[in-house]
Structure 1
Amino acid sequence: MSARSSGSRGGRRATLRVLALWLLALALGTAAMLPFRDRLDKAHVALLLLLVPLGGSAAGGRSVGLLLAAASFLVFNWFFLPPYHTLVVADPLDWLILLAFLATSAVAAQLLYAAQEEARVAQLRTAEVDRLRVVGAEALNAGRAEDALNTVAEVIREAAQADSCELLAARDGEAPHILATAGVITSETAHDGADAEGDVVLPLSVRGRVVGTMRLRSAHGLTLDAERSRFVEALSYYAALGIERVRLIAAVERAQALREADELKDALLASVSHDLRTPLTTIKARAHEMRIHGDEQAEVIEQEADRLNRIVVDLLDLSRLKAGVLPTDLDLNAVDELLELVVQRVEGVLGKRTLAVQLSPDGELLFGRFDLGHSVRILVNLVENAHKYAPKDTPIELSARREGDRIEIIVADRGPGLAAAESERAFEPFNRSPELPPDVGGAGLGLAIARRLAEAQSATLRYEPRAGGGSVFTYSFLAVEFTQDGD
C-alpha cells in the first residue's frame, strides 16, 4: 500500500467524520428551532441554517460545505416552509428565498475553500522557502562538503515526508556509492542497497551530466503528489551541486597531493643527481687511469660511467626545465648547420645504421630563431629513441621542410610505433615501453626532455604514426626570412 493511498483513505475518513458531525449539528439546530417555527421569520431560519454549510466548509472543505448546503436547503424546505413536511412550495416567492439560500451557501463554501487553499499554499511556500534557506545557509557555511550534503538530504527527506533519503554518487564503470543519508533506514526500508518497489529514485544532473542518484524510501512505499514532487525535484538540484562539489574537492585534493609528491620527487632527484656527479667523475678518472695501465675492463667501466653521467645530466636538466630556470638562447640559426651537428653527435651511437638526411626539396636555405644547443639535443634524443626501437636493418630518416611560416624537422623510423592512447604518455618522464629490452640504455627521459626543451623555445614537438608502420616525430618552430642584409 502506497503512502498516497494510505493518506487518501485517512483523508476520506476525516471528511466523513466532519460531515457526520455537521449533519448532527444541523439536526440539533433544526430540532431546537422547530418549537418556534411559527414565530421565526424566514430570514432568521436562513441565517441560522447558513451557519451549517459555512462551518462544515471551514472544517471539512468545499465538498462537505456543498453537501451541507444541499442538506440545509432540504431542511429549510421540509420543516420551515408551508406546507410543512413536503417539498411543495405554496408561495412562489419562497422559491426565491430557497434558491438564494442555496446559492449563498454554495458561494460561501467556495469562497471559504478558496481562502483556505490560498492559506495552505502560502504556508507551503513559506515552508519551502525555509527549507531552501537552510540548504543555502548550510551550503555556504558548512566546513565540509559532506556535511552540507547531509543537510540537503535531511531537507529533502522532510519535504518528501519519507523515512529515509540517500544521495549516491555515480562512478564510471562502478556501482554508485552513498555519499549522504538522512533518516533511519530500518529493516523494512532497507533492500540490500537495491531499488525496491515504492522507492522514489531521481537522477541528479549538473549541466546535463548525471552526477548521482537520489533515493527516497518509506516503510509502506512512497508516492509523491504533484506539489511535493515539484519541490523535491527543485531540491534535487542542490543535491546534485553538493555531489559535484564533493567530487571537485576530492579531485583538487588528489591534484594537490600529486603536485606535492611531484615537487618532492623533483627536489629529491635534483639532490641525488647533484650528489652523484662527484663520485661519477672519480670513477671515470680511475677507470681511465686503469685503461692506460692495460686493464681491458676499464673501458667498460668508463662507458657505463658516461651512460650514468648522461642520465644524471638528464635528471638535473629535467628538474631545471620543470622549474623554468634552464637558460635558453634564441638566435638566428641555419637549419643545415643544425642537422650537420646532429649527424656528428649520433654517428658513434648509430654505428652501421643508415641516417638518411634530406634538406628542403626545393633547395631553399632554411633559417629560424631557435636555441642551437637545445635543438641539437632535441633531435639527438629523437634519433637515439628511433635507434632503440627500429629494426637494425632499417634506416632512420632526418629531414627538414618549410610549411607556411614554420620550419618542420622530422625524424622518422620503421619501429613498432605507438598506440593512440600512448602517444602523449610517451612524452612523460620515466616512460619506457614494455617492448624495450632491459639492457637497452635510458631511463625514459629523452622524449620528456625533448618536449620541454621545445616548449621552452615556444616551439612544438608532436608524434604521428607513420604510414606503413613506424613513428614520425616533428619538431616545429617559426621560420625567419633571411637576406644578405640580415633578418
Structure 2
Amino acid sequence: MNRKGLVAAALVVPPAACAALALARASFDNANAALVLAVVIVGVAAFGYRPAGLLAAASSAVWFDFFLTVPYHRLTINSRDDVETTILLVLIGVAVSELAIWGRRQQARASRHRGYLDGVLATSQAVAAGGSTQELIDQVSAQLTVVLRLDGARFVAGDNRTTAPRLNPDGTVTRGGRVLKVERDGLPTNAEIELPVQHAGRTRGRFLLTAATHISYPDLQQRQVAAALAGQLAHALAPQPH
C-alpha cells in the first residue's frame, strides 16, 4: 500500500471500527474493544510509515473516546480505566511504528550488503575469466561509486604516493596519519580520497574517489568491501607467472 493509502486507512478505519463496535457496546467491555483497535493500529503501523502509524493511533484514541467511553458522543472520559486504555492505544501505535521502521531498515541494510558481496563475487569472476583490464577497471569503478555512494572513482596507474586522505585495506580512512571518524563526519569532500590497488606488497595503482557534492557515510563493512574490490583489481594487474 502506498503512503496516501496508509494515511487514508489511518483516518477512515478507526472511526468506522469504533462506530461498528458502538452498535454492540452493551455486550462487551471497552478492554475488548481496545484489542480490536489495537489490531487496526498494528495493521497500519506495520507498513513502517511513521506518520500513518501515529495517525492511526491518535485517530483510534479519539474515536474510542467519542464512541465507546462515558459520556458517549463527547470527547470526555470519566473513567480512569478508559483514560489508561486510550493512552495505551497511542503507545501501541508509537511502538509498532518504530519497530516496523527499524525492521525495514535492517532488511534494507541486509539487502545492500548482499548486493555489495555480489559485486565482489562478480569482480572475482571477471578476474578469473581474464577479461579486458580496462573493462575490469570500469567495473570496479562503477561498483565503488555504488558501495561508497560517491560522485565518481577514477583509476590512476603507478605507485606514486600522495598526501590525499587514504582508504586503507582494513576499512579505516586516514589523513596525515590521523584516523577519520567516517561514521560521524562522513568521507572528506574537500579532496579526492586515495584507495591503493595493492598486490603482494606492491602498489599497482590507486583509485581517486570523489565525494564532492554530498557527504557520504559508508560504514566499516562498506569500506572493507571497497578495499576488497581494489584488491581484486590488483590481482588482475599483477604480472602473471609463465
Q: TM-score band (shorter)?
A: 0.5 to 0.7
Q: Is the CA contact (8 Å cut-off) linking 1:135 and 1:151 kept in structure 2?
A: yes
Counterpart in 2 of 1:211?
Answer: 205
Equivalent position of 2:121 in the other structure: 133
Q: Aligned with 1:59: secondary structure? A: coil
**Which stretch of the first structure deviates more once superposed, 147-156 or 208-217?**
208-217
Tell me which amino acid in the other structure corresponds to 2:207.
T
- Deviation of residue 81 (structure 1)? 0.7
| 1:56 alignment partner, one of 23, 44, 51 | 44
For residues 143 and 192 of structure 2, the distance between their equivalents in structure 1, rounded to whole angstroms, comes to 16
Runs of at least 4 residues off by over 6 Å? 207-210
1:233 Cα deviation from its structure 2 partner: 3.0
CA contact (8 A) 1:82 1:90 kept: yes
CA contact (8 A) 1:128 1:231 kept: no
1:258-305 deviation digits (Å, cap 9, x = unpaired): xxxxxxxxxxxxxxxxxxxxxxxxxxxxxxxxxxxxxxxxxxxxxxxx
Contact 1:170 1:210 in 2 (8 A): yes
Q: Hey, what does 1:226 align to over in structure 2?
A: 217
Q: Does 1 or 2 have the higher relative contact order (CA < 8 Å, sep 6+)? A: 2
Find the aligned partners of 1:78 and 1:226 in 2 and give their Cα distance.
48
Change in Cα spacing, 1:73 to 1:142, as seen in structure 2 (3 Å) is: farther
Q: d(CA) in 2 for partners of 1:208 and 1:42?
A: 74
**Aligned-partner Cα distance in 1 for 2:191–2:72:** 59
Specify the code of the residue in structure 1 equivalent to 2:105.
Answer: E
In the TM superposition, what is the alpha-carbon distance from 1:209 to its structure 2 partner? 6.8
Paired AA for residue 152 in structure 1 = V
Q: Which runs of 5+ in 1 are unaligned?
A: 1-13, 174-197, 257-487
- Residue 95 (structure 2) aligns with: 107
Aligned to 2:170: none
**Contact 1:201/1:214, CA 8 A, preserved across alignment:** yes
Report deviation, 1:58.
1.8
Measured in 2, the distance between the counterparts of 1:211 and 1:234 equals: 18
Instruction: Tell me how far 1:143 sits from its aligned partner.
Output: 4.1
Matching residue of 2:193: 202
Q: Deviation at 1:216?
A: 6.2
Determine whether 1:121 maps to 2:109. yes
Over residues 54-84 of structure 1, what are the superposed CA-to-partner deviations in whole Å (9 max), with x where a residue is unaligned?
1222223345423432332222123211112
Is the CA contact (8 Å cut-off) linking 2:148 and 2:226 kept in structure 1? no
Given the superposition, is the C-alpha separation of residues 248 and 131 from structure 1 closer, same or farther in structure 2, using an over 3 Å criterion?
closer
Sort the Cα spacing of 1:112 and 1:245 in 2 relative to 1 into closer, same or farther, 3 A.
closer
Hey, what's the Cα distance between the residues in 2 that align with 1:247 and 1:112? 46
- Residue of structure 2 equivalent to 1:23: 11
Partner of 2:182: none
1:169 CA displacement:
0.6
Q: Determine the structure 1 residue equivalent to 2:154.
A: 167
Does the 8 Å CA contact 1:169/1:243 hold for their aligned counterparts? Answer: no
Give the Å deviation of 1:201. Answer: 4.8
Native 8 Å contact 2:117 2:225 kept in 1:
no
- Quote the Cα distance in structure 2 between the aligned partners of 1:225 and 1:72: 40
C-alpha deviation, 1:17, in angstroms: 6.0
* Cα distance in 2, alignment partners of residues 104 and 154 from structure 1: 44
Tell me the TM-score normalised to structure 2 length: 0.62
Q: For 2:39 and 2:214, how far apart are their aligned partners in 1?
A: 37
Matched position secondary structure for 2:46: helix
How far 1:116 moved relative to its partner? 3.3
Other-structure match for 1:475: none
- Which sections of structure 2, spanning at least 5 residues, go unmatched? 162-188
How far apart are the structure 1 equivalents of 2:92 and 2:217? 32
Q: CA deviation at 1:39?
A: 4.6
What is the identity, as a one-letter code, of the residue corresponding to 1:202?
Answer: I
CA–CA distance in structure 2, aligned partners of residues 95 and 80 of structure 1: 12
1:15–1:242 distance in 2 versus 1, CA, 3 Å: same
Cα offset, 1:243, TM superposition: 5.6
- Secondary structure of the structure 1 residue equivalent to 2:207: strand
Aligned-residue offset at 1:35:
4.2
Matched letter for residue 168 of structure 1: F
Q: Hey, what's the Cα distance between the residues in 2 that align with 1:199 and 1:65?
A: 41
Q: What's the TM-score, normalizing by structure 1?
A: 0.35
| Distance in 1 between residues matched to 2:5 and 2:217, nearest whole Å | 26
> Superposed, which structure 2 residues align to 1:254-403 within 5 Å?
none
Alpha-carbon distance in 2 for matches of 1:64, 1:234: 37
Alignment CA distance shift 1:93-1:121 (3 Å): same
Which residue identity does 1:150 align to in structure 2? Answer: D
Mapped to 2, the partners of 1:170 and 1:202 lie a distance apart of: 15
Could you give the per-residue CA deviations for residues 55-114 of structure 1, whole angstroms, max 9, x where no partner exists? 222223345423432332222123211112434322223234334434444434444444
Identity %: 17
